[in-house]
Chains A and B, each alone.
Chain A
Amino acid sequence: MTVHPRVLDYPQSFLPGVIPDEAELTAGQRVGAGRSYGFFTDTTLCIGCKACEVACKEWNALPADDLGLRGTSYDNTGDLSATTWRHVHFIEHIAENGGRATTMPPFQSNWLMMSDVCKHCSPAPCLEACPTGAIFRTEFDTVVVQQDICNGCGYCVPACPFGVVDVSLEDGKAHKCTLCYDRLKGGLEPACAKSCPTDSIQFGELGELHDRAHQRVEVLHAKGVENAYLYGAPGTPGATGGLQQLNAFFLLTAPPETYNLPRAPSRPAERVGPSLAAGLATIAGLAFASLAMFAAGRAD
């Protein structure tokens, strides 16, 4: 129950204006252009409440998806999409030695919950694939689809190694998390991180987040959570295949696939060589086959 000292400057019930640099009060740091920001999502603190999903939709005015009961634990949202920019996975791991768990591993649940989001990759494959310049890297080092430029070509969709970017059926344009670009410009913490009741989602400057995350892994290891690891920080799983880092990175306690994350994501650009070779081989093969068929036809 320790609040930031600067809150003492605002004792009124009616405030004269938006609290300046509110992120300093809620995330412990001011937001400034020219620095790199991101999310550190620590799944060992997630209670699966979905406040992030709601706060995101409320702030970004995203519609509900109207999906119905999915029967996949408590997940009824399904996946990240053009209208869902935060999504909480639920993975049940209760059974244990033929019975059910009663003693929980420290700081890790037997019911895994993880709030997924756009990774704001560096470099960003969607940005590299965008032919119109709609996707760009902001002054906060985040990746945003600019709606006034996007023409809905959809090249970014297959380019994303995480399946995050989606083209909306409503307006035909590509949509995804903006890391609350507008809020950052106003000195506010992104909506999901601000609302997160347990600070499972932490927003901040990447350098500091990396330090915090590495320390957290060490603490967890010391407490016996040996399987805790970072995903997407430089030099960790997730930051592979030409992706130097994911600005939104995670602390996980199970293999990436458990959370529907690729074990070794890669930039399509990294795959150009092999793909090109495979493509050429296919063409050659097809040519050969058609020739063969042609020859066979002639033989009839």
Chain B
Amino acid sequence: MGSNMAENHPIAFRFALQAKERGATLIHVDPRFTRTSALCDIYAPLRPGSDIAFLGGIINYILEHDLWFKEYALAFTNLSTIIDERFQDASELDGFFSGWDEESRSYKYDSWQYQGEVVPASLAEHYVNTTESFADKTKRMEKGPPPRDPTLQHPHCVYQILRRHYAAYTPEMVERTTGCPREVFVKIAEALARNSGRERTGTICYAVGWTHHTTGVQMIRAAAMIQGLLGNVGRPGGGILALRGHASIQGSTDIPTLYNMLPTYLPQPNAFKPHKTLKDYLQHERTPTGWWHNFPKYAVSLLKAWYGDGARADKEFGYGWLPRIVGDHSQLPMTLAMRDGVIRGMFMLGQNPAVGGHNAGLVQRGLAELDWLVVRDMTETETASFWYAGRPVRDGEIHPRDIRTEVFLMPASLAAEKAGSVTNTHRLLQWHDKVVSGPGDSRSETWFIFHLGRRLKQLYSASKNPKDAGLLALTWDYPTEGEEEEPSADSVLKEMNGYTWPERRQIESFQQLKDDGTTACGGWLYCGVYPNEGDNRARARHPDGPEGPGTHLGWAWAWPANRRNMYNRASADEQGRPWSERKRLMSWDPARDEWVGPDVVDFEPKKPPGYQPDWGENPTGMEALGGDCPFIMIADGKASLFTPSGLKDAPLPAHYEPVESPIKNPFYGRQSSPVAKVWNRPDNRLHEPADPRFPYALTTYRLTEHHSGGIPTRTVPVTAELQPEAFAEISPELAEQLGIRNLDWVTVATLRGEVEVKALVTERVRPFRLDGETVHEVGLVWHFGWKGFAQGDIANILSAVVGDPNTSIHEGKAFTCSLRRGRREAAR
């Protein structure tokens, strides 16, 4: 679900097909019948944006028919935990949860907590917005285990809350909301349950089909809940697999060129959180219990890696130099900030927002407001050429003579023309060699950033202004190679791995990191990739032979600690025994007093399954987690079927319609997520629910033959010819209704703009019948632009700047549009 795996990750689908050969059931739930559907056993059509109705239906089905994996879920999830008795779910409040504050249009999270204690979230969004002191309240986790009722009878235990909340998600409601026939839905729910338990596991694969919604995080949460209930996490063949879309999209999340994080999931200091001093920051972001209790070691080691000798203990290790965020600085508001003149200069480093950005017309107008723009790519992209070929220019809305933007288009090196590591979708760091130099003046980004940094350090070298002290302290002594003075990527990876300071001896594990300035580490989760001088494990090429266990620990290196299967403590039962021989991975060996198996255990290797914290000692960190707590990154060590903190929209997934939807929410009075990020303004106007002017459900998507913004495939003749033009897929029923024939030009429109493409009339798109009403779907490919050998109108001209409240990811998978035969009339 949320993934078109055969089309977008064909080599990963190789394994799905191999599993099918061995008897696995493949299921595809998707708004369109795709090349993935064609190879699956069951295909379920689903109206775009109705995924939580479907997933909630599965949760309900599992609970109502008692199909969950009891030993697993009781031991390893918070199913029996008792929640604050003030908590009310969306079924009681017509689509809201308790804690809604109309004035700030946000939730207060007090009533979502465990009874009597505040549970901090485990990743970057640590801070819990409660009315009481956060740090004091979370400290109660050191006093004893969270309140639980293993009999599941307590009316406020998670199990009972789930039953109440999901009672409405019946097969009938699933059909009415998603358009999936109820018998198909039931067949899928049963197949999932049947293929889970001691002897079997199931996996759920998703991709941007889930993230590109205002409820994207909750869709993934719903899948996580299903997998927790069915015991499919931490076990071989289980899990939730995020199929990511770029060679190092995982790496660029870990080593984030993202506004809200520092490398490997440390929060970026925020001016409006208690982050004023290093002490505040460490105190508030460190969780009292669980692995994240080590947070100060990672934060201080990062500062040491960045500011070197300038990172002195008496100067907060340079913490004060770090920039503070003051709000949402992600790509959607960035678009508006360009348009509004807040941002004056931009770097585009291998990204093409004139095609891939949402409300692409607005993006192009925003680019025209910049003072300067640097585009680094392998060709002239749409983004680089906006000033003479962009939509607003071609429509005569603006003229190049009126655009002041100074544009630099710089040739960039590609893989094989530079060395470095990329992190793939299962966290594997793989090194690629520099085999040749890029053509002409092509350079790597390592080169560009390094030499830009050198110039800036030179320009500021005489400055005594405190604002420049951080830049001047920045460690920037990477050795260079060759005539081009290419900085050594190898030395950068060594810094990310970490070394002792000041000796710079490589360290082997993040367990060696310290918070006193004697270790420097650019990304604690990458510690171990370069454990010794000359030992770059990302470059290891020792796969397992046919007799090996198949974990391939010698092929490249996976974070963390070269572990291939996360949370693998859960592959054994509460007592540490394999759930079954068939699904054996890690288990406790009482003879050796340690966890054994073909993977690196995701647990303290010597902690016995029977260990329980000595609560009299106020244990912290890992000491506070029992031997039956596999989810060590979570403060209580249990999988969160109910999420007390970390999410802005709900502790439990509830079905909300997309911000633009052809129908009213069948579940609640509340139409769309109450906290969805919406920027409703004249240049980003939105459609009301069920607006008759925009009756069709629109979804945008990719094709096997092209890649994202299209530059890497539209510029290559042999891939361009395979999908040479943009098109819209519509059903024969809608085509007949509108008098559209195959290959006719059609115009698709929203309040943001219009695009003209050819129609591809196909039975693979089907009308959704919802409670007697028919909703038609329009599918639009978004790879195209005005450059390259394969061209077409930009689908994102139509999309809006609206986003998920947790991630600010746009809603490009489900919005509404109008459709008519014929070409658009240019606004000339």
Let me know if chains A and B touch directly in the complex, using CB atoms closer than 8 Å. yes
Interface residues of A (CB under 8 A from B): 1-5, 7-8, 10-14, 45, 47-51, 53-54, 57-58, 62-69, 71, 73-74, 76-77, 92, 94-95, 100-104, 106-107, 109-111, 113, 197-199
Closest partner residue, chain A, to B723 (CB atom): A76
Is there an interface contact between A8 and B545, defined as CB atoms closer than 8 Å?
Answer: yes
Closest partner residue, chain B, to A3 (CB atom): B543
Is there an interface contact between A49 and B35, defined as CB atoms closer than 8 Å?
Answer: yes
In the docked arrangement, what's the CA distance between A103 and B37, Å?
10
Is there an interface contact between B722 and A76, defined as CB atoms closer than 8 Å?
Answer: yes
Assuming the contacts A1-B550, A49-B6, A106-B41, asked whether A73 and B718 have C-beta atoms less than 8 A apart, the reply is no
Could you say which of B42, B433, B543 has the most chain A C-beta atoms within 10 Å of its C-beta?
A: B543
Could you say which of A45, A49, A68, A73 has the most chain B C-beta atoms within 10 Å of its C-beta?
A: A49
Q: CB within 8 A of A66: which of B20, B703, B721?
A: B721
In the docked arrangement, what's the CA distance between A58 and B40, Å?
30
In the docked arrangement, what's the CA distance between A230 and B44, Å?
31
Q: CB within 8 A of A197: which of B13, B20, B431, B546?
A: B13
Assuming the contacts A8-B543, A95-B763, A102-B43, asked whether A69 and B758 have C-beta atoms less than 8 A apart, the reply is yes
* B430 CB to nearest chain A CB (Å): 10
Closest partner residue, chain B, to A107 (CB atom): B20
5 contacts between A and B (CB under 8 A): A3-B546, A8-B545, A50-B705, A54-B719, A111-B33
Q: With A76-B721, A197-B11 given, can you name 5 additional A-B contacts, CB distance below 8 Å?
A: A57-B718, A63-B717, A100-B33, A111-B764, A198-B13
Is there an interface contact between B723 and A74, defined as CB atoms closer than 8 Å?
Answer: yes
In the docked arrangement, what's the CA distance between A105 and B433, Å?
45
Q: CB within 8 A of B725: which of A7, A54, A68?
A: A68
Closest partner residue, chain A, to B432 (CB atom): A13
Contact with A along B422-434 (1 / 0, CB 8 A): 0000000001010
Contact with A along B694-729 (1 / 0, CB 8 A): 000000000111000000000001111111110100
In the docked arrangement, what's the CA distance between A51 and B722, Å?
10
Q: What is the predominant secondary structure among interface residues of chain A facing chain B?
A: loop
Closest partner residue, chain B, to A75 (CB atom): B722
Q: CB within 8 A of A69: which of B20, B43, B539, B727?
A: B727
* A40 CB to nearest chain B CB (Å): 16
Is there an interface contact between B14 and A198, defined as CB atoms closer than 8 Å?
Answer: yes
Is there an interface contact between B13 and A11, defined as CB atoms closer than 8 Å?
Answer: no
Within 8 A of A (CB), among B1-30: 6-7, 10-11, 13-15, 17, 20
Is there an interface contact between B542 and A50, defined as CB atoms closer than 8 Å?
Answer: no
Is there an interface contact between A47 and B6, defined as CB atoms closer than 8 Å?
Answer: yes
In the docked arrangement, what's the CA distance between A51 and B713, Å?
13
Instruction: Across the A-B interface, give the 4 residue pairs with the lowest CB-CB distance, nearest first.
Output: A109-B38, A64-B717, A111-B38, A64-B721
Is there an interface contact between A197 and B14, defined as CB atoms closer than 8 Å?
Answer: yes
In the docked arrangement, what's the CA distance between A69 and B37, Å?
23
In the docked arrangement, what's the CA distance between A199 and B543, Å?
21
Interface residues of B (CB under 8 A from A): 6-7, 10-11, 13-15, 17, 20, 33, 35-45, 181, 184, 187, 431, 433, 539-546, 550, 552, 703-705, 717-725, 727, 742-743, 758, 760, 762-764, 766, 789
What chain A residues lie within 8 Å of B721 (beta carbons)?
64-67, 76-77
Assuming the contacts A69-B743, A71-B760, asked whether A102 and B181 have C-beta atoms less than 8 A apart, the reply is yes
Could you say which of A47, A54, A71, A198 has the most chain B C-beta atoms within 10 Å of its C-beta?
A: A47
Closest partner residue, chain A, to B539 (CB atom): A13
Is there an interface contact between B545 and A109, defined as CB atoms closer than 8 Å?
Answer: no
What chain B residues lie within 8 Å of A64 (beta carbons)?
717-718, 720-721, 789
* A295 CB to nearest chain B CB (Å): 54
* A217 CB to nearest chain B CB (Å): 15
In the docked arrangement, what's the CA distance between A74 and B45, Å?
20
* B415 CB to nearest chain A CB (Å): 14
* B582 CB to nearest chain A CB (Å): 17
What chain B residues lie within 8 Å of A198 (beta carbons)?
10, 13-14, 17
In the docked arrangement, what's the CA distance between A94 and B539, Å?
46
Could you say which of A1, A5, A63, A73 has the most chain B C-beta atoms within 10 Å of its C-beta?
A: A1
* B190 CB to nearest chain A CB (Å): 13
What chain B residues lie within 8 Å of A2 (beta carbons)?
544, 546, 550
Closest partner residue, chain A, to B543 (CB atom): A3
What chain A residues lie within 8 Å of B41 (beta carbons)?
103-104, 106
Assuming the contacts A64-B717, A69-B727, A197-B14, asked whether A102 and B184 have C-beta atoms less than 8 A apart, the reply is yes
Assuming the contacts A12-B541, A13-B433, asked whether A104 and B42 have C-beta atoms less than 8 A apart, the reply is yes
In the docked arrangement, what's the CA distance between A57 and B719, Å?
10
What chain A residues lie within 8 Å of B705 (beta carbons)?
50
Is there an interface contact between A3 and B35, defined as CB atoms closer than 8 Å?
Answer: no
Could you say which of B10, B11, B727 has the most chain A C-beta atoms within 10 Å of its C-beta?
A: B10
Is there an interface contact between A8 and B542, defined as CB atoms closer than 8 Å?
Answer: yes
What chain A residues lie within 8 Å of B543 (beta carbons)?
3, 7-8
* A5 CB to nearest chain B CB (Å): 5
Is there an interface contact between A102 and B35, defined as CB atoms closer than 8 Å?
Answer: no
Is there an interface contact between B42 and A113, defined as CB atoms closer than 8 Å?
Answer: no
What chain B residues lie within 8 Å of A110 (beta carbons)?
33, 37-38
Assuming the contacts A71-B743, A100-B33, A197-B14, asked whether A92 and B43 have C-beta atoms less than 8 A apart, the reply is no
Is there an interface contact between A92 and B763, defined as CB atoms closer than 8 Å?
Answer: yes
What chain A residues lie within 8 Å of B762 (beta carbons)?
73, 92, 94
In the docked arrangement, what's the CA distance between A65 and B719, Å?
11
Is there an interface contact between B6 and A5, defined as CB atoms closer than 8 Å?
Answer: no
Is there an interface contact between B725 and A69, defined as CB atoms closer than 8 Å?
Answer: yes
In the docked arrangement, what's the CA distance between A177 and B323, Å?
60
In the docked arrangement, what's the CA distance between A64 and B790, Å?
11
What chain A residues lie within 8 Å of B35 (beta carbons)?
47-49, 74, 111, 113
* B344 CB to nearest chain A CB (Å): 41
What chain A residues lie within 8 Å of B187 (beta carbons)?
103
Closest partner residue, chain B, to A93 (CB atom): B763
* B728 CB to nearest chain A CB (Å): 11
Is there an interface contact between B43 and A104, defined as CB atoms closer than 8 Å?
Answer: yes
Is there an interface contact between A5 and B545, defined as CB atoms closer than 8 Å?
Answer: yes
What chain A residues lie within 8 Å of B789 (beta carbons)?
64, 66
Is there an interface contact between A103 and B42, defined as CB atoms closer than 8 Å?
Answer: yes
Q: CB within 8 A of A77: which of B10, B722, B742?
A: B722
What chain B residues lie within 8 Å of A71 (beta carbons)?
742-743, 758, 760
In the docked arrangement, what's the CA distance between A54 and B707, Å?
15
Is there an interface contact between A100 and B6, defined as CB atoms closer than 8 Å?
Answer: no
Assuming the contacts A13-B431, A53-B722, A76-B724, asked whether A47 and B42 have C-beta atoms less than 8 A apart, the reply is no
Assuming the contacts A50-B705, A104-B41, asked whether A58 and B718 have C-beta atoms less than 8 A apart, the reply is yes
Assuming the contacts A7-B543, A57-B718, A100-B763, asked whether A47 and B724 have C-beta atoms less than 8 A apart, the reply is no
* B262 CB to nearest chain A CB (Å): 30
Closest partner residue, chain A, to B732 (CB atom): A95
* B433 CB to nearest chain A CB (Å): 6
What chain A residues lie within 8 Å of B184 (beta carbons)?
102-103
* B303 CB to nearest chain A CB (Å): 33
* A24 CB to nearest chain B CB (Å): 13
In the docked arrangement, what's the CA distance between A277 and B556, Å?
70
Closest partner residue, chain A, to B40 (CB atom): A104
What chain A residues lie within 8 Å of B6 (beta carbons)?
47, 49
Closest partner residue, chain A, to B6 (CB atom): A47
Assuming the contacts A10-B541, A11-B541, A64-B718, asked whether A1 and B15 have C-beta atoms less than 8 A apart, the reply is yes
Assuming the contacts A49-B35, A54-B718, A69-B743, asked whether A102 and B14 have C-beta atoms less than 8 A apart, the reply is no
In the docked arrangement, what's the CA distance between A7 and B43, Å?
38
In the docked arrangement, what's the CA distance between A68 and B540, Å?
44
In the docked arrangement, what's the CA distance between A10 and B41, Å?
39
Is there an interface contact between A109 and B760, defined as CB atoms closer than 8 Å?
Answer: no
What chain A residues lie within 8 Å of B13 (beta carbons)?
47, 197-198
Closest partner residue, chain B, to A14 (CB atom): B433
Closest partner residue, chain B, to A88 (CB atom): B722
Is there an interface contact between A49 and B545, defined as CB atoms closer than 8 Å?
Answer: no
* B116 CB to nearest chain A CB (Å): 47
Assuming the contacts A1-B15, A102-B45, A106-B41, asked whether A67 and B724 have C-beta atoms less than 8 A apart, the reply is yes
What chain A residues lie within 8 Å of B20 (beta carbons)?
107
What chain B residues lie within 8 Å of A4 (beta carbons)?
546
* B424 CB to nearest chain A CB (Å): 14
